Amino acid sequence: MTVKTFEIRCPVYGFISLDPWEREIIEQPAFQRLRRIRQLGWTDAVYPGAMHTRFEHSLGVMHMASLLYNGVQERCGDILKTEYQYDEAGISRYRRLVRLAALLHDVGHGPFSHAVEELAPYNGDGEGRRRRYRHEEYSTAIIRKHFRDVIENHPANANYRFTVDDVCGLIEGKAAAGSAAIWQELISSQLDADRMDYLLRDSFHSGVEYGRYDWRRLVNSVELVPDSESDSWRLGVSDGGRHVAEGLIIARYMMFSQVYFHKARVILDYHLHHAVEALLPQGVFPAPVGDELDEYIAWDDWRVLGLFSEGQGGEHARRLKDRNFFRLVYETPEIPSVEDEAQLEAAFLCLDGLNPVRREARKSWYKIGSDDLPVAASNAGGRTMLLSECSSIVRQMAPSRSVRLYVSKEDRSVAKQRVAALPKERTPS
């Protein structure tokens, strides 16, 4: 029997196909909420086209994860059969699981996405660690509570017999060893569908070229590669695909340096954080547990904007509304030297009385170690190499740790005069 499919237009891929089960999942209120959560927070104040939402991004991640899965299956079908005992039913089963996990991975995002993530409460796990809940933990809590019925009891699940824990396992990185575990890297890794989609989608809507890379070539290069430290397999790229993997990493660097870490966007996130904090009881979102989870789901961009329009949110909400945000008066280079850091401290001290705001743009572009991307390098006698071994570009991409100082628009002239009057630090000869 032919299963009816539905098509959604997408500015990145053309069309994204859904089946009736996926469409029913999307129709759930907890998923429709993503239509009311912007992907890039307040970034449209800098790039006016950046008004897209977590809803369309989630569809795109599902589509990209499917393309990656299908490519691996086509190129590595023999490995899946011999090493993981996949038959046609197994291939269909795990394709479905990957699509569900990719589709639902972001349902836990709060208003304006990453801009206010630091307003999550501490998780209180009793292990001596003070760590805030991550949006992935909200996602899995929402899936287990609000998507259990539409996943576990849907007629389409009769053959798969998925539980919500199967779906959450891929998102949490706790999938069972073997058959499911190899697909976790499609959901979360240095080469995951989430990253591949947001770079393309954010660059498109922002109107910039920085986030573009040859995604079609990359989809055709991902394959199962022997893990050099065990007898298992990992998702990696063919030797011919390593340059496009480099392209993805460079695109990520460019998007962060030019869009996500744009000087105005950084301070807009600061104002947004404090404005939303002023709206929340005790200054934090409800936790992803018990009845608090439904209180959390009630928060979205529409609610926040409505409260702002009513005059709530304090000074920071007013500054956002009036575009009266703080202005940049000093910044270090992307990779500051000892002298640059000394000059930064001098600049901060000279702004005493002007209440300077210090914001750091810190990011590592590529993780070397257990997360290093394996490459089936043909010039190494078939030995699996790591991308950091065969890419001088990746090896030399030092983490960014730029620091910026901002003051109110009213104090900018005075602040710039003080900074300009500072003696310059000299490098010892």
* Segment 343-380, tens digit of pLDDT: 999 999 999 999 999 999 988 888 888 888 999 866 55
Could you tell me the residue ranges of all domains in the chain?
A: 326-364+400-429
Q: Which residues contact 327 (CB under 8 A, 6 or more apart)?
A: 267, 406, 407, 408, 409, 412
Q: Do β-strands 357-363 and 400-407 pair in parallel, antiparallel, or remain unpaired? A: antiparallel
Q: Which residues contact 259 (CB under 8 A, 6 or more apart)?
A: 40, 43, 47, 202, 203, 206, 208, 210, 211, 265
User: Facing residues of 14 across strands?
Assistant: 10
pLDDT average per 10 residues of sequence, the chain (429 residues): 86 96 98 98 96 98 98 94 92 96 97 95 71 95 98 95 94 75 90 96 96 96 85 88 94 95 96 98 95 97 98 97 96 94 96 96 86 77 80 88 96 96 66
For 207-241, where are the alpha helices, taking DSSP H only?
215-219
The pLDDT value given to residue 260: 95
Nearest residue to 191 (alpha-carbon basis) of 394, 18, 328, 407:
394
Nearest residue to 58 (alpha-carbon basis) of 194, 230, 221:
194
The pLDDT value given to residue 428: 44
- Which pair of tokens denotes residue 211? 């986030």
Output the CA–CA distances (angstroms, integers) from residue 367 to 199, 222, 252, 269, 403, in the order listed: 18, 18, 13, 26, 22
pTM value?
Answer: 0.94
- Which pair of tokens denotes residue 293? 């989870």
CA distance 96 to 176: 16
C-alpha of 336 from chain center: 26
Output the CA–CA distances (angstroms, integers) from residue 405 to 79, 123, 329, 399, 417, in the order listed: 54, 31, 6, 20, 14
The pLDDT value given to residue 365: 85
User: Facing residues of 261 across strands?
Assistant: none
> What is the DSSP secondary structure assignment for residue 259, as one 8-state letter?
I
DSSP result, 113-132 = GGGGGGGSPB---SSS---B
CA distance 223 to 86: 16
> What is the DSSP secondary structure assignment for residue 378, as one 8-state letter?
G
The pLDDT value given to residue 384: 83
